[in-house]
Amino acid sequence: MMKFKKQDKEFVIGWIERQFKKSPTFPISCADGDKNNKNSVSKEHLKSYKAWNNTSHKRSEIEAWINKWLHETEISELEQQL
C-alpha cells in the first residue's frame, strides 16, 4: 500500500504523468499481452488514464489510484525515487 507525504505530492503527480507519456503500456497491470506489438495501447490503459485524469489532487485520492492501478514493481520504483 503506497503512502507518501504531503510535500512529495507534486513529485508523485509528475512521476505518474511522465510514465503515461513515455509508455503506452503503463501501468504494467494494463498491458494487453499482445506479444507482437509491445507498444499497443490496451483498453485497461485507457481506463487507468481516464481514472487518473478524473482523480483530484488530494493525497488520499492519488494514493487510492496508485494502489488500484499500479503493480508492486511500479510502486517500488516510485518509492525509491521519492
Cα dihedral 13, 16, 21, 27, rounded to 10, equals -160
Q: Which residue did the predictor score with more confidence, 69 or 44?
A: 69
- Nearest Cα to Cα of residue 43 among 59, 56, 60, 24: 24
Please determine, for residue 33, whether its predicted confidence score (pLDDT) is greater than 80.
no
Asked if the model's pLDDT at residue 35 lies above 60, the reply is: no
Element containing residue 14 per DSSP (H, E)? helix 9-22
Neighbours of 55 (CB within 10 A): 18
